[in-house]
A = this chain, B = another copy of it.
Amino acid sequence: MARSFGGIDLGGTKIQAVIVDDDHKPLGSARRPTPTEGGPADVASEMEHALRDAAKAADIEPSKLGGVGVGSPGVIAEGNVTSARNLPGWEGSFPLAKKLEAALGCPVALGNDVQVATDAEFSLGAGRLYDSLLGVFWGTGVGGGLILDRRPWTGRGGAGEIGHVVVEMDGARCTCGRRGCMEAYAGRGAMEIYARKLHKDKGRKTDLFKLMKEHERTRLTSGIWARALEKHDKLATEILDRAVKALGAGIASVVNVLDVEGVVIGGGLGVRLGHPFAKRIAEEMQPHLFDDAHPPHVHVAALGDLGGAIGASLLLDPDSPAS
């Protein structure tokens, strides 16, 4: 009998759940905001409910699933998630797999959020033609995932931190506290801090914060940035140009060292800004590529917003590189 699987992408802003058939086709999905207060147990409860919503849409009982995979931030080991800094009260360790197994009545596997999204693009998405792939997830932060010789590369467990590649010694302060990281220029979190500073402290004009209020947001979401660009907001354009330039330098650095065949640009901003920006990032990489006659192929993530959750569902698939 064909089995179905669940996948949950646990993000700092939202929890995305999906149910897929054994051909990885989505049967139902659901999304809930990530709790901003409380602790790991509250987050786990929202994850359970998001998965139950998706299962309902797919008309299946969670306990009948072949299993549920979770893509999570933080450090993942033996079913525990530790120091997931973007999540409320999650400085310590929490037995997420055990708790979700008890709540859902099926096996649960955990993986790194960015790596499972990369695995999904490699297996099913924009990277499926390549044997080596760099996934760049451009959102609040900038995360990276690697496929080398058709297998995920995670190092000692901490690989993929492309957001913290140094593009400028003694450069801009990053939200991680360090200086000159790519994410200090390109992360949506850092971009918002920079926009506020230029607007409030330096008196630069922008409609970014007006758009944010009009759309009842509390943060500059990817949609707000996209709308500001459409309206030719000068400050938004400038900050995004700066971000794209940093992405070009940082990604080119990694390509110079690894010489991967393909690069996939995903994440909230990557997917929202889409192909024109993937093309601009490739253009900004070009002057820094050592072997500039053979640039890697650069694509937008083909699985879009669902990629992380579909990638998580692959954790249960014995044929997947991630399992």
Contact = CB atoms under 8 A, between A and B. Distances in A.
Interface of A: 132, 144, 146, 148-149, 153-162, 164-169, 176, 178-181, 245-246, 249-250, 252-254, 256-261, 287-288, 290-291, 294
Nearest to A250: B166
Given A155-B258, A169-B168, A258-B153, A161 B249 contact: no
B148 A245 contact: no
Contacts of A287: 178-179
A259 B291 contact: no
A168 B165 contact: no
Nearest to A260: B155
The 8 A-B pairs of least Cβ separation, nearest first, read A155-B259, A159-B259, A165-B253, A161-B256, A161-B290, A166-B249, A164-B290, A158-B291
Given A167-B169, A169-B246, A176-B290, A132 B155 contact: yes
Residue with the highest number of chain B CB atoms closer than 10 Å, among A154, A155, A176, A260:
A155
Contacts of A181: 288
14 contacts: A148-B148, A148-B153, A155-B259, A155-B260, A157-B259, A159-B258, A161-B290, A164-B253, A164-B256, A165-B165, A165-B253, A166-B252, A250-B253, A257-B258
Contacts of A246: 169
A294 B158 contact: yes
B256 A165 contact: yes
Contacts of A178: 287-288, 290
A106 to B, nearest CB: 32
A153 B147 CA distance: 12
A132 B157 CA distance: 12
A261 B166 contact: no
B257 A254 contact: yes
Contacts of A294: 156, 158
Nearest to A177: B287
Residue with the highest number of chain B CB atoms closer than 10 Å, among A179, A249, A287, A294:
A249
Given A167-B169, A169-B168, A178-B287, A160 B257 contact: yes
Contacts of A164: 253, 256, 288, 290
A253 B174 CA distance: 14
Contacts of A176: 290
A313 B146 CA distance: 32
A162 B166 CA distance: 13
Given A146-B257, A154-B259, A166-B288, 14 more contacts: A132-B155, A148-B153, A149-B153, A159-B258, A162-B256, A162-B257, A166-B252, A167-B167, A167-B168, A168-B168, A169-B245, A169-B249, A250-B253, A253-B253
Contact of A257 (B149, B161, B245): B161
Given A178-B288, A287-B178, A290-B161, A253 B166 contact: yes
